Structure 1
Amino acid sequence: MAKKMLPIALSNRHLHLSQQDIEILFGEGYELNKFKDLSQPGQYAAAEKVDIAGPKGILKGVRVLGPARPSTQIEVSLTDGFILGVTPPVRDSGDIAGSPSVKIIGPKGEVELKEGVIAAARHIHMHTDDAEKFGVVDKQRVKVRTEGDRGVVFENVLVRAHPTFALEMHVDIDEGNAAGVKNGEMVELIVE
């Protein structure tokens, strides 16, 4: 049986902002400026960056991703959490309830975020056609095997299948570096 292979990408610290928070940080009526497209259709890295301040330290120049979202969410690694002085829970995107608070500092204002700092759980974006080909469904948990000197098997990988998604696994920078993988490398999907 042929292996089920897909590309992996390392996700560095970033944040998604609500339109309300964009306007507080950058000015009334402000629209994000596209820096470059991301692998997921319609998603982009914005030219804008902000600083994030926690109880112990500051992360400077954190990239904003667009477009605007209904609520603000900051995605950092566990290492970033040590710098900030918070413990980000490992969560699926959008699950921010009860997560740590920090301050976001922009050129025109600041936002005291009551919750919203997470370490994004490892996940796979895939088109619904890919899900059918791989024999998986949306919200299923799978394993993914990497190759190389530091090869690992990632457990509890969330499948996110949608007609607008492009095939790619996302891990944070800590996980990717620990496994010795690089952006675009092929990894094996394991369904048990």
Structure 2
Amino acid sequence: MDREELVSIITEQVISQLQQMAKVAPADHRNKKIPLGISNRHVHISAEDLATLFGKGAQLTKLRDLSQPGQFVSEQMVTLVGPKGVIEKVRVLGPVRKKTQVEISISDCFKLGVKAPIRDSGDLEGSAPITVVGPVGSVTLPEGCIIAARHIHLHPADAEIFGLKDGDRVNVKCSGPRGIIFTEVLARVNENYRLEMHLDVDEANAASLRNGDLLEIV
């Protein structure tokens, strides 16, 4: 065996070892930990409302990608108007959805004078009314404003690791000087999801959490 063949064999062995390490690294790295994503107020918008707010033929312009595959922050911003106040420069997230959904925090509710219920995303029936104002027009939603319930996005491979299925509810612990256990956290499993727990700004601030902090199911 010449030197070139020996180098080739060793290289193949190293590559094989690295590939095997890569396969097990995610579970080992996570060690049953879930990274946190903190959600600020935002709007998911329908195609019809997009046209009303930004003009006929308007399309969302990507500013940057979000952690969940296919989801992004757009350059478009709107103003939220409630009975007691307004909140300006609220980001619209893409892609467009079938129905417009406004997600705010409890603190935002006080400022706007809106009684938004805590709901899972997409559960809009009977939720709070709100007016959304864009540069071209405005839309008054009879329902559609919610406080997003805490939840975890999981790919099916992650769900298998954690022993969860779509729709399960779990308790999640964060450590530190303001450690807390978040109860009734919804597990959402989908091929298009990436492992991440979502809290709104109020909840994250209450526990002194930051984006990327690791949480644990208990």
Give the structure-1-normalised TM-score: 0.97
SS at match of 2:143: coil
Structure 2 residue aligned with 1:109: 137
Q: Deviations over 1:66-113 (max 9, x none)?
A: 000000000000110111101110000000111111111100000011
How do residues 19-168 of structure 1 correspond to structure 2 at under 5 angstroms? 19-168=47-196
Runs (4+) off by over 4 Å: none
Determine the C-alpha separation between the residues in 2 that align with 1:102 and 1:188: 35
Once the two structures are TM-superposed, the CA of residue 189 in structure 1 deviates from its matched residue by: 1.5
SS at match of 1:24: helix
SS at match of 1:30: coil
- % same residue: 50
SS at match of 1:139: coil
Determine the C-alpha separation between the residues in 2 that align with 1:151 and 1:10: 16
Q: Deviations over 1:144-182 (max 9, x none)?
A: 100110000000000001111000000000000001110
Determine the C-alpha separation between the residues in 1 that align with 2:156 and 2:193: 8
Structure 2 residue aligned with 1:175: 203
Partner amino acid for 2:41?
R
Determine the C-alpha separation between the residues in 1 that align with 2:41 and 2:81: 13
Partner amino acid for 1:188?
E
Determine the C-alpha separation between the residues in 1 that align with 2:184 and 2:66: 24
SS at match of 1:115: strand
Partner amino acid for 1:79?
S
Determine the C-alpha separation between the residues in 2 that align with 1:168 and 1:102: 29
Once the two structures are TM-superposed, the CA of residue 24 in structure 1 deviates from its matched residue by: 0.2
Partner amino acid for 2:101?
Q
Count of residues in correspondence between the two structures: 189
Structure 1 residue aligned with 2:12: none
Structure exhibiting the larger radius of gyration computed from Cα positions: 2
Gaps of 5+ in 2: 1-27
SS at match of 1:93: coil
SS at match of 1:49: strand
Gaps of 5+ in 1: none
Q: Deviations over 1:120-164 (max 9, x none)?
A: 000000101100011011000001100110000000000001111
Partner amino acid for 1:20?
E
